[in-house]
Each structure stands twice: as structure tokens, then as C-alpha cells.
Amino acid sequence: MVIRYKKTSPKQRRIVMAISLVITIIVILVASLGGLLFGASYILDQSLKDPEVLVHPAISGNDIIVTIYEGEKVGELVQLSLEIEGYAPVVQNVPSGATQIVYVGIASQVTGTRNVGVRGIFTDGSVKLLKVIELRFT
């Protein structure tokens, strides 16, 4: 193409440059569209994937109740660690088939709005962050 480019008139050079620019733009658009489709399908697959364990912490008086709903690794859950921002984590064992874990009196001295995290400890020794929520303590 370089040899032909040197032997052409200015008008033909402009046409060759325009064609190469159009081809480059088409290649970029096709690559972007492919990346977009791949990314969208990946995000969709991840959002539809069953969570490891679905939990929800809530305040009830001075207690915090962590409700365990479902998940693919709910049978392997051994312990739950409740972490309140600014305080030491508290770990409790999870009996087989339990749907609620009550942390008695843990919220008695906590005031203000705090982030509360729940980590799961599984039979294989892995530790996963299951939920982070902002709770208001009074």
C-alpha cells in the first residue's frame, strides 16, 4: 500500500486516507461493542449468581439480630463475626440450621450512625465479608 500511495495523485491519497480512517473507526467500534456485550453478560451472570450467604443485621433494643436467609454456602457457615465501626469484632458460633444469631447487649454503649459489617467463617477456614450496612444507634 505504501508503494501505491507514493505513485498516486493528491486526490487518490485523500481517498486512501479516508478509507483507512473509516476502517480504523469501524474496527474500534466493533471492538468496543464486543467489550460492552462481554462486560454486560459478565455483570448479569454475577448478579444472578447465588450469593454465598445472604444475611441482614438489625437493631432490637440493645441487641443486634443477624438473620440468615439463604445461599450456596449456608450449610458450611460455622461462625459469624459482627464488626461495629470503632469497636472490636464479636464472633459467635452458628448452630446448624440456625436462621437468627442474637448478639445480646452489644449495642448498649454504641451511639450515632455506624457501619456494621458481618463476616462469615466457613468450614474450609475461609472468611468472607457477607454484608456491610449503616445502622443508627440511639
The one-digit pLDDT tens for each residue of the chain (138 residues) are: 455 556 667 788 888 899 999 999 999 999 999 888 888 888 877 766 666 788 999 998 889 999 998 878 888 889 999 999 988 899 999 888 788 999 998 888 888 899 999 999 999 888 888 889 998 888
> Which pLDDT score is estimated for 51?
67
Residue 91 bridge partners (DSSP): 81
What pLDDT score does 8 carry?
64
Taking the C-alpha atoms of residue 8 and residue 79, their distance in angstroms, rounded to an integer, is: 77
pLDDT for res 1: 47
Q: Which of 101, 102, 81 is nearest to 91 (CA)?
A: 81
Q: Alpha-carbon distance 95 to 79, whole Å?
A: 9
Residue 106: how many CB atoms within 10 A of its CB? 17
- Looking at domain 54-137, its CATH superfamily turns out to be Immunoglobulins (2.60.40.10)
